[in-house]
Amino acid sequence: MEPTQYRVVHRTDYTYGVPVALAHGVGHLTPRRTVAQQVLTSSIEFDPKVDHQWDYLDAFGNATIYWSIERSHQALSVVSCSEVEVWPSVTPAFSPAWEQVPALLRAEVGHDAMDALLCSVGSVLVGPSRELEMYARPSFPAGRPLFEALADLTTRINRDFEFDPGFSDVTTPVAEVFRHRRGVCQDLAHVAIGCLRSMGLPARYVSGYLETQPPPGQPRLIGADASHAWVATYIPGWGWLDADPTNDVTPPTRHITVAWGRDYADVAPIRGVVFGPPSAQTLTVSVDVARIDPPR
Amino acid sequence: MTTPVPRGYRPDAGRYDELIDERGQVRSHWRAVIDAWDRLGPHEVARRATTAERRLRAESAGYVFDDDAATGLTIDALPYVIDVESWAAIERGLVQRAELLELVLADLYGPRRLFSEGIIPPGAAVASRSYQLAAVGVEPAGARLISYGADVVRDATGRMLVVRDHTDAPAGAGQALWHRSVLAAMIPDAQARLRVRPLEVWLAHMRAALAESAVPGVASPRTVVLGPPLDHPDFVEASYLASNLGYHLAGSGDFTMRAGRIWLRALEGLEAVDVVLRRVADHAADPLELIPPSPTGVAGLLQAVRERTVSVANSLGSGVADRLWLQPFLGQVCQRLLGEPLLLDQIETLWCGDQDHRQTVFDHFDRFVLHDIDPVAPVASAFADELDSAGEDEWRRRIAEMPHRFIAQRRVLFATVPTGRVVGDESTLVPGMATIRAHAVRSGSSFVVLPGGYGRVVTPEQPVVDPAPAAGKDVWVIDTDHAPRRRLVAAPILPEIDLRSSIPTRSAESLFWLGRNSERAEFVARLARLVIGRAERDAPLCETSWLTAVLFGLEVVSTGAPMNLDPARPPFPAIEERLATALAGSVGSRVGALGDSLTHVFGGAGAVREFLSTASWRVVNSLAVERLELASGVEKGDMYLLAESLDRTVVSLAAFSGLAMESVVRGPSWRFLDLGRRIDRALLTVRLLDATLRADTDADVRQALYAHVLAGCESLVAYRRRHRSDLRLDSMRDLLLDDETNPRSLAFQLQRIREHIFGLPAREGFLEQLRILDELDTLRGRPGQVGDVLGLIGSAVERLSAHLAATWFAQPPPLQLRPQG
């Protein structure tokens, strides 16, 4: 198996109706290194240039950037470029029965186990609930290996929910998405997370990108022109296993991982505040992910 | 000699009572206090208690915006006396808890072993929405816990129990100091004679601890208090603490984060801040990184802590230990981290997210008090045994549905403590219940406990963790003769800051409006007094046009617009009714009515407490009392009472403005106060002239009208000294508009305003302000009918005021960027 190299350009443009005097922002914009992913190059360009910038790792080890722009400006563009090398994802040969996972998890130590603990319980945007548990149940018959259960849940969510960019925004509660059975990739990821947590299992939110143009003969994936999101659960003794309910792939292919957390709020690509008179704001986002042809 | 049991005091048999021991005798540490009360006698105690209560309410003027809250402010005249031995046990227990909680915070925001070792369930921390993941890995420069609070209570068996811990922005120490000052005034010699441990030492410890928490290398750190908005209930204490500690009190809009540092936006520019004493919940301290999101706060505060350019006390994220969720596990945590059991017992507390705990709660439902730990929309706490069956089903369903959110605390029977009750003009003692909010402040690697605390008399219906207002009860720890006196800590070196020029923007704004509102209140009170005076004397004349015109002027001056009346066309509502509107107004509708202006005077004064002299503060307090008198006069329609009260109000307001001239240091703070006053005086003078001179009056009443307008502008005597003739319009115009030697004239106000604008630091907008002033001078000098230009002058003054506000006070709140999916 060979790795694939991608060039990612993620561009975000804000404009403000009137100039703002000061802006602060936090971004999760640089792909992270994982067992299956190497980051070859990365850069973030700001226009106007930031006055101060700090890079650090957040509680989940995601590359995080904090910036401030301390001059009057009426527009902000943030362009994150990176080149990554992604190895095909692997499927665990064996996974424990889902019911055994909480106990196995308690016996483990280390970063992954800590993340798994924090991701087993409700977070700001996604808590466990009765109705999510009822929905998830059929995917979790007694003794079923966690990998199979996750794949089944992913397929069901993909089948039962309609991808609808017009229905929700980032403030739409999971319960609402669940009731109407529609939403975008992050809503579907949140539903999957809620289901897993309702079953007492760890579930984290993964934010990243998809290849924009599919290789010949393969379908174009949904969510390829913006940031994408999917879910991962933790298999004790093996590691985190990703699943993409929007495209029904477990584990996903042609996915580039940027950051993970408990839900969208932990890893939003850009959060920020600006100081100026209230005015209208526009936001445009574009993501382009292209294969880098291997040198001949 | 034994102290007799107070007459009629009968505690329940078999229940621990703080005053009476098992043999039916007064406990020894209470004797001196009970003897002192006996010597005063029931009448004198009752009289002093009433005075103390009035003093408490007057002191709260400026904080309490609605009268309902003010009437809820009471204090028990009898302190909660605690013996040295009991107190020493509490002290040891609290110091242990504070040290333990520091370690807990360091772990939760560091290695998180308490989670991975299974000692604390992460689900409980996360469900409280107070575990700030953004702060994980952030290493503050100093300690995380600078001040710590705990609610303690004695149960019916005599054990002292901890009800809950406070680690976020522990309130209550300011209340304790405040209540002590009220009680000390009631019994002036008690502190020394009875050897009550003094509280003031707490302030010195607090200053030292804050200085020590600063980033290493800062020689004399600058500390600023981050306070809640003016109308927040906690503002009272924040302001009291800030002025007692000697730090500026600033709102979140007064701070900014630039170049990685936190700055105070002062008039002279940005001033670097080294330590932020946080008096708001941690999630409300940074709108960008902390949860749940808050519309206010200092964007970048956490980042500055991350970069170790500022210290925040208590550290951002310390609110996580403030919720009840930690309590069920604290015993195990103590064993794990300190290798010893908790010294103080705590009320049995269970977390419903744990299956065993939940089962216990469901099995013994009636024994518990139920609490929701969600910080955003918590369900009100409930006593399980008082729920009806529908209520119980609802709670059981809720807990089953979202077990992580609920905490159950065992309901315990409290010990009784004597509380004073005034019946008629006598004070008696009855057994009541009280809790104590105790406080500890960091001292090196350990903590010092405030010797006393903020006691609250609780009713049986009220859960102890409920923050609802209750009667205060000062806590006295009485030293026995042989107990060694505590050593005082040396005051830390504070930075040399010229407080004459350093003013947070919000304070400048409050001073400006304080000036405007006190001037308006004085003007309206004076005019109203004139109207009442004439109405009393010339009762049959009340329909005459001059009085109508003055009334009309009063309405314009007090509210900016007259009631919907044509001044030329009677009949009008009764004078009493119109006066009532100008004086009392009704909530929200008559901005500018006397009552409304006075309320804003208290509000403004409370916000700038540190700039006002003690005497000024006393005048503000007397105005608070007067406002209540005025309201009752208006309600009764009693003109005599009103006249008396207005006289006192005018004198107090005059005293306030005199003190502003005589005891406020000349600097920007004084300039803003005076600017406000000058602007309102200019505005009200032209408004009064405009409103009254428009009225078409007969020649025979014109004299009376002019005399009252002059008196309303406090210039009648000046006129008489200058002109020995009848009152004439052109001479009046000269005196009130153009005479630069008359401190009540428009020209005089404009001159002062010009001086202030030149005296303030240069700012963009300066030229525009001068241009409006030039325009005003031109208008004033324009020949012709007075009436034609008054409206133009009025609107130019308003424009100037708005421009000054926009230049100096505009602080747009942060706008959140739209999130991308």
Chain B CB contacts of A68 below 8 Å: 257-260, 300
> B-side interface with A, Cβ within 8 Å?
112, 115-116, 118, 121-123, 126-127, 129, 133-134, 136-137, 256-260, 287-289, 291-292, 299-300, 303, 306-307, 401-402, 404, 812, 814-821
The stretch B762-786 carries a mean pLDDT of 84
| Chain B nearest CA to A25, separation (Å) | 8
pLDDT of residue A38: 95
| Alpha-carbon gap, residue A269 to B821, rounded angstroms | 8
Asked whether the beta carbons of residue A118 and residue B115 sit closer than 8 angstroms, the reply is yes
The stretch A34-61 carries a mean pLDDT of 95
Instruction: Calculate the CA B481 to chain-centre distance.
Output: 38
pLDDT of residue B178: 85
pLDDT of residue B560: 63
- For A28, A80, A94, B813, the CA distances from A15, given in Å and listed in that order, are 20, 18, 50, 18
For B108-144, the DSSP string reads HTTT-HHHHTTSS-HHHHHHTT---GGGTT---SS-S
**Structure-block tokens of residue B487:** 């050593």
Mutate to test the interface with A, among B306, B352, B815, B818 (most CBs of A within 10 A): B815
The string of pLDDT tens digits covering residues B252-263 is 889 999 999 999
| Alpha-carbon gap, residue B696 to B702, rounded angstroms | 9
For residue A63, the cross-strand partners are A57
Secondary structure (3-state) at B374: coil
| Chain B nearest CA to A15, separation (Å) | 10
| DSSP designation for B217 | T
A75 touches A13 (CB < 8 A): yes
B617 touches B667 (CB < 8 A): no
Secondary structure (3-state) at B246: coil
CA angle B666–B510–A278, rounded 5-degree value: 130
Residue B496 confidence class, pLDDT cut points 50, 70, 90: low
Residues 6+ apart with CB under 8 A from B483: B84
B778 exposed, middle or buried (CB, 10 Å; 0-12, 13-18, 19+)? exposed
Report, in angstroms and rounded to the nearest whole number, the Rg of chain A calculated over CA atoms: 19
Asked whether the beta carbons of residue B814 and residue A277 sit closer than 8 angstroms, the reply is no
Percent of chain B exceeding pLDDT 70 equals: 88
**Structure-block tokens of residue B158:** 């005599």
B172 touches B467 (CB < 8 A): no
- pTM over cut 0.90: no
* Closest to B275 (Cα-Cα) out of B208, B215, B206, B228: B215
Asked whether the beta carbons of residue B815 and residue A114 sit closer than 8 angstroms, the reply is no
Q: Which of B183-197, B365-379, B473-487 has the lowest mean pLDDT?
A: B473-487
Residue B93 confidence class, pLDDT cut points 50, 70, 90: very high
Location of structure tokens 């706008």: B815
The string of pLDDT tens digits covering residues B108-138 is 999 999 998 889 988 888 888 899 999 999 9
The CA-to-CA distance between both ends of chain B, in Å, stands at 80
Chain B CB contacts of A269 below 8 Å: 820
The string of pLDDT tens digits covering residues A58-76 is 999 999 999 999 999 999 9
Amino acid occupying residue B448: V
B506 exposed, middle or buried (CB, 10 Å; 0-12, 13-18, 19+)? buried
| pLDDT over threshold 60, residue B770 | yes
Residue B70 confidence class, pLDDT cut points 50, 70, 90: very low
Supply φ then ψ for residue B623, to 5 degrees.
-65, -35
**Structure-block tokens of residue A150:** 């996750």
Strand order in the sheet with A37-47: A37-47, A73-86, A4-20, A281-291
Chain A CB contacts of B302 below 8 Å: none
* Closest to A231 (Cα-Cα) out of A249, A244, A248: A244
**E strands along B33-84, which residues?**
80-82
Chain B CB contacts of A278 below 8 Å: 812, 815
Task: Give exposure, B378-407, as e/b (b: 16+ Cβ within 10 Å).
Answer: eeebbebeebeeeebeebbebbeebbbbbb
| Alpha-carbon gap, residue B188 to B179, rounded angstroms | 13
ipTM higher than the 0.85 cut:
yes
Q: Which of B129, B307, B404 sits opposite A124 (nearest CB)?
A: B129
Cβ–Cβ pairs < 8 A, chains A and B = 133
CA angle B229–B234–B238, rounded 5-degree value: 85
| pLDDT over threshold 60, residue B67 | no
| DSSP designation for B461 | T
| DSSP designation for B168 | S
Asked whether the beta carbons of residue A57 and residue B137 sit closer than 8 angstroms, the reply is yes
Chain B CB contacts of A24 below 8 Å: 257, 288, 299-300, 303
The string of pLDDT tens digits covering residues B504-525 is 888 888 899 999 999 999 998 9
Angle between helices B614-636 and B575-583 (to 10 degrees): 150
Q: Which of B127, B299, B303 sits opposite A121 (nearest CB)?
A: B127
The string of pLDDT tens digits covering residues A159-208 is 999 999 888 887 788 999 999 999 999 999 999 999 999 999 999 999 99
B224 touches B248 (CB < 8 A): yes
A196 touches A231 (CB < 8 A): yes
In chain B, the residue whose alpha carbon lies closest to the alpha carbon of A114 is B116
Percent of chain B exceeding pLDDT 90 equals: 43
Chain B CB contacts of A169 below 8 Å: 819, 821
In chain B, the residue whose alpha carbon lies closest to the alpha carbon of A70 is B258
Residue B670: count other Cβ atoms within 10 Å of its Cβ: 20
- For A117, A169, A197, B86, the CA distances from A104, given in Å and listed in that order, are 11, 37, 16, 47
The string of pLDDT tens digits covering residues B681-693 is 999 999 888 888 7
* Closest to B226 (Cα-Cα) out of B292, B273, B267: B273
